[in-house]
Amino acid sequence: MPIGALTEYRAVLRFAVVLIIGCLAAVGGRGATAALIDYPDFSSVAGLTLNGNAAQSGDRLRLTPDSPSQVGGAFLSSPVSITKGFTTRFRLQITSALNPSPLRRSDGIAFVIQSDPRGSAALGADGGNMGYADDTGGGNEIVPSVVIEFDTHHGVGDPSDSHVGLMLAGTRTNHAVTSNVPAKLDNGSIWTAEVTYDPVLTELSVFLGENAAPPAHLFTHTVDLATQVSPAPDVYLGFTAGSGGGFANQDILSWQTEVPEPTTLALFAVGLAGLGVARRRCRSRPSDKAGP
């Protein structure tokens, strides 16, 4: 290979390899994501549809006030695509001036992924239905849906009075998997929850941390959201909560969601194409092989 051709080949090859290594590094780190949703607080609730008893309270999203038999919810007003996976992170707090005992701070908060025909206006029943289910016969359960519930009342089918559950089909008793939280979700702490979905492995993972503690892994469950929340190509993301005889302020303090950065994948493809060009140029030069 002549020195000129060899130099060109090495330059193209070096560029392609550097690009691919850079992209792989980016994919391996959290920098390879783009913010889809970012509410550092809820001093603005623009972009959200508030349902039932949900309301903005200062810089908080208050899903239910400190009163009995309330039900509220809030969904992004527009559906979003999660086909490439996502990571969502939010902080929640359950407090009550009227129920100093945590045992009566009911019923809990749910993170809901859904494609119900009602869209962002979907809302279930109060009490243990927590705003996503409906065992009253009213037919208002949110379906199809995949729900992560933060349940603070030991009702029918529940494992405890403080657990995180993965719920399918909009029923309050259909726990696909649960994890007990001994410290009590309604103890007044600020809890940070993180939910990640990997569409390749079809795995949903949930992490939880109390106050300053980083979220720790609770469970991973295999569930194909593309099938579970079909037929809509896009889904509505949001929260619901309910109260009954026991009640509390059930608040979301912040909410961020990230999706994989498409440009990273595009650059990766460019890098691969560059490698192909370098190889083709080398093979297409017969004089290169015949040179002295």
For Ca ion, the binding residues (CB under 5 A) are: 128, 151, 153, 155, 158, 165
Closest contact distance (angstroms) between CB of 91 and Ca ion is 21
Closest contact distance (angstroms) between CB of 126 and Ca ion is 12
Is residue 91 a contact partner of residue 190, using CB atoms and an 8 Å limit? yes
Tokens for 200, please give them: 């390749």
Q: Give whichever of 26 and 146 is closer to Ca ion, judged by the CB atom.
A: 146
Closest contact distance (angstroms) between CB of 96 and Ca ion is 16
Closest contact distance (angstroms) between CB of 156 and Ca ion is 8
Q: Give whichever of 60 and 153 is closer to Ca ion, judged by the CB atom.
A: 153
Alpha carbons within 13 A on the beta-carbon side of 267: 17
Q: Give whichever of 238 and 244 is closer to Ca ion, judged by the CB atom.
A: 244
Is residue 264 a contact partner of residue 30, using CB atoms and an 8 Å limit? no
Is residue 235 a contact partner of residue 113, using CB atoms and an 8 Å limit? yes
> At which residue do the structure tokens 């972009």 appear?
47
Is residue 96 a contact partner of residue 64, using CB atoms and an 8 Å limit? no
Closest contact distance (angstroms) between CB of 245 and Ca ion is 12
Q: Give whichever of 59 and 135 is closer to Ca ion, judged by the CB atom.
A: 135
Closest contact distance (angstroms) between CB of 158 and Ca ion is 4
Q: Coil, strand, or helix at residue 53? A: coil
Q: Give whichever of 166 and 225 is closer to Ca ion, judged by the CB atom.
A: 166
Q: Give whichever of 155 and 238 is closer to Ca ion, judged by the CB atom.
A: 155
Q: Coil, strand, or helix at residue 240? A: strand
Tokens for 98, please give them: 């009227």
- Identify each DSSP E strand in 175-248 by its residue range: 175-180, 190-198, 203-210, 216-222, 236-242
Tokens for 171, please give them: 């029923």
